[in-house]
Amino acid sequence: MNCTLCGDRAVILIREEQLSLCKQHLIQRILDYSRTVLEMIKPGGTSIRIAVATSGGKDSTVCLHILHSLLEEYTLDIIAIAVDEGIEGFRNIKLHRLKKFAQNLGVDLNVVSFKEFFGASLDEMVKLSLGKGFMYKPCTICGVLRRYLLNKTARELGVEYLATGHNMDDEAQSILMNILKNNIDKIARSAPITAIKHKKFIPRLKPLYYCTEKEVMTYALIQHFEIPVVDCPYLFFNERRILRRWLNKVEYLRPGTKKRLISLKNRISLNSQREPTKRVKLCTKCGEPSSEDICKTCQILEYLEINMDGG
Ligand code: SF4
Ligand code: ZN
């Protein structure tokens, strides 16, 4: 299989476009997609400080690498933040590699942990939740508390944007999940840059928004990134995993399904009569941004009877 554009050996076939790309043209394509997103924040000569939310997985590693490649072109000031949730046999392995990766790039990596900040690791929280009827599943606790800590840390580090490794597959899965939850507002708000505006909320930037997971994975392979192949022990509870598998099967049968879901989202956003931005309050317990009077993090900690002592 040869590259459609130059005839060199191809590393990827993009079925929905009948396009084969060599290493250089795939890199070019991903850089161009990321440029499209960076253009939206319109860096105008002055340096833009961005924190990349890194987990040691392929998506966030590629995101960090891509932004680092565009550092001079867009006058970016890049740092990385990693949250150590405290998942034994998983996150510690991922973070070990991530530290070396960031060090080789020369990017400052800030690691914050559930144990230090909230007073308990995710493993400990899952046990507490199990003992109380398991109202909060591991991925809910993990996701809510991780986003909370990322936002707080990014704000304290004085960044303007928090970049995440979300790709088109993640977006397509989110659209499906929100259709199933009848959450039209969330579908309409999904975008490469979040529209939530509040001085305590750091806007999210998704440089890989237009790249498929296959493109991101191939990029990680051709760049020889050493990403530990280890699954989270709580993956079984992850709803998204089920949708991901299903969507991949449908994509195989009908190439372009994921892109069509993104187009559907764009049409929903255009036709939406609702406010494009979400109203943000401040949690009455911890003072962090929240859509409810008491934020989800405080609700979870209260349920688990954990007193947040790190903040
Ligand atoms: Fe967290 Fe669930 Fe992902 Fe594990 S699978 S890292 S618990 S969100
Ligand atoms: Zn709170």
**Mean pLDDT of the 131-143 span:** 95
> Could you report the per-residue pLDDT of 89-104, keeping only the tens digit for each?
999 999 999 999 999 9
The ligand whose atoms approach the alpha carbon of 152 most closely is 2
CA of 125 to the centre of ligand 2 (A): 17
Is residue 74 in a domain? yes
> What's the burial of 143, exposed, middle or buried (CB within 10 Å: 0-12/13-18/19+)?
middle
In a domain, 130, yes or no: yes
The confidence score (pLDDT) of residue 195 equals 74
Q: Residue 105's domain is classified under what CATH number?
A: 3.40.50.620
Q: Residue 238: CB within 6 Å of ligand 1? A: yes
In-domain check, residue 105: yes
How remote is the CA of residue 171 from the centroid of ligand 1, in Å?
A: 17
- Any atom of ligand 1 within 6 Å of the Cβ of 139: yes
Q: What is the pLDDT of residue 311?
A: 41
Question: How sure is the predictor about 43, in pLDDT bands with cuts at 50, 70 and 90?
Answer: low
Q: Which atom of ligand 1 is nearest to the CA of 143?
A: 8
Average pLDDT over all residues of the chain:
93
pLDDT of residue 29: 98
pTM (2 d.p.):
0.94
Has residue 223 been placed in a domain? Answer: yes
Q: Is position 294 within any domain?
A: no
Please tell me the distance from the alpha carbon of residue 156 to that of residue 158, in angstroms, as a whole number.
5
Atom number, ligand 1, closest to the C-alpha of residue 139 = 2
> What is Dmax (Cα atoms) for the chain?
62
* 142 in contact with ligand 1, CB cutoff 6 A: yes
- CA 122 to ligand 1 center in whole angstroms: 10
- Among 300, 299, 49, 297, residue whose Cα is nearest residue 149: 297
**Ligand 1: does its nearest atom lie under 6 Å from the Cβ of 78?**
no
Instruction: Give the least confident one: 56-65, 166-175, 277-286.
Output: 277-286
Ligand nearest to the CA of 151: 2
For residue 210, give the 3-state DSSP assignment: coil
**Per-residue model confidence (pLDDT) at position 275:** 58
Residue 122 lies in a domain: yes
Residue from 114, 166, 234 whose mutation best tests the ligand 1 pocket (most atoms within 8 A of CB): 234
Which range marks the domain in which residue 209 is found? Answer: 36-278
Those residues with Cβ within 8 angstroms of residue 220's Cβ, 6 or more apart along the chain or in another chain: 58, 61, 62, 227
Residue 205 Cα to ligand 2 middle (Å): 23
Strands (E) located in 103-201: 108-113, 161-163
Question: What total number of domains does the chain contain?
Answer: 1
